Amino acid sequence: MNTQKLMLPVILPGLLFLGALAGLYLGSLSFNEAMALDVIVGDLRFARVLIAILAGAALGLSGCLIQGVVRNPLAAPDLIGVSAGAAVAATALLLLFPQLSLHWLIPAAIGGALATLLLLLRLLRNDALSPTRLVLTGVALSIWLSALTDWLLVSHPQQTNAALVWLTGSLWGRGWDQLWVLLPWFAVLLPVSLMLALRLDLLTLGDDAAESLGAGVLNTRKTALLLAVALAAISVAVCGTLSFVGLIAPHLARLLAGGSHLRLLPAAAMIGGLLALVADILARTLAAPLELPAGVFTSLIGAPYFLFLLTRYRGW
């Protein structure tokens, strides 16, 4: 059987399973020591593995949807400012309203990401989502929003510890409470995203052809972008910013599973989950007992890959 045909049902799930086992076994404590303390494996490591997979999968799906809509391989939630917008809103909630429940983080993050997307589209002035302008405007927005986040941190020094740990893209301290916040949103957004697969395939034929085949180009783009915003926001709300996962996962999925979105979307989700899981395992094992932010490792991998893409698509 062709390797590409085995990718979705066998290879990627197998890699995720092996990654999950590694996440349970590896840590500052050996597995035997951790098993002696049931809470370490059952209440911390297992929940943390599931959160990493779901958060990474959400980012992979988000990046795949954005790239499918704008037909731009450089588009990703963190590169067009959406993740930064979600981070500003969630940081403001943590610092200004610390008494509020964690369940408000995801609605706040979605609101911030959506506001950023609307601002981005306004700044582009209906420029047909030009790849160059989209990336440059998105990077500028990200820098501005990051500065706003820094201002919030500096102006509220007494509440910065929790926010700083969260902002670095860390899964430290994440457990079942965070999983139960993330899981219902992901369970709804995943199938709705998969329902768009055929219409996203039609968009690759061009707007006129897609419209004539009944894709509803404008509605498809709006729906896909809203889903991408929500997926990026739920990941940022729970884990902070895991940079470049939404950029790398769709590209690897395209190489491994082909261009059909019915295969591409689940492949991007699984690869995104695997990337986030590997980054988290490295974060808590390389300098144990000190724990590094997982977002550092996704950036170390993603930034060179982004530079490679810029050279590959330098004709844009």
> pLDDT tens digits, residue range 40-50?
555 678 888 99
For residue 146, give the amino acid letter: S
Please give the backbone phi and psi of residue 216, each rounded to the nearest 5 degrees, phi first. Answer: 65, 70
> pLDDT tens digits, residue range 78-90?
888 888 998 899 8
Q: By C-alpha distance, which of 100, 78, 124 is closest to 235?
A: 78
First and final CA of the chain: distance in angstroms? 38
- Show the tokens assigned to 307: 């530079």
Domain residues of the chain, as ranges? 37-312
SS3 content of the chain, % helix, strand, coil (to 5): 80, 0, 20
HEC string for 205-220? CCHHHHHHCCCCHHHH
Fold type of domain 37-312: ABC transporter involved in vitamin B12 uptake, BtuC (1.10.3470)
Cβ neighbours of residue 90 closer than 8 Å, sequence gap 6 or more: 105, 108, 109, 112, 166, 236, 237
How far CA 120 is from CA of 90, 127, 247, in Å, comes to: 19, 11, 18
Cα–chain center distance at 204? 23
| 233: helix, strand or coil | helix
> pLDDT tens digits, residue range 121-153?
888 876 556 666 777 888 899 899 989 988 988
Q: What is the pTM of this model?
A: 0.86
How far CA 65 is from CA of 1, 3, 38, 271, in Å, comes to: 29, 24, 40, 15
Rounded distance, CA 120 to CA 83, Å?
13
Length of the chain: 316
- CA angle 30-281-170, nearest 5°? 120
How far CA 255 is from CA of 2, 37, 63, 179, 200, in Å, comes to: 14, 42, 15, 31, 18
User: Tens-digit pLDDT profile for the chain (316 aa)?
Assistant: 566 667 777 888 889 999 888 887 776 555 555 555 555 555 678 888 999 999 999 999 999 999 888 877 778 888 888 889 988 998 888 888 877 777 788 888 889 988 998 898 888 876 556 666 777 888 899 899 989 988 988 887 766 766 776 677 778 777 788 888 889 999 999 999 999 999 888 888 877 777 777 777 778 888 888 899 899 989 988 888 888 899 899 989 988 888 888 999 999 999 999 999 999 888 888 876 777 788 888 888 888 877 777 776 654 4
Torsion sign across C-alpha atoms 182, 116, 125, 67 = negative
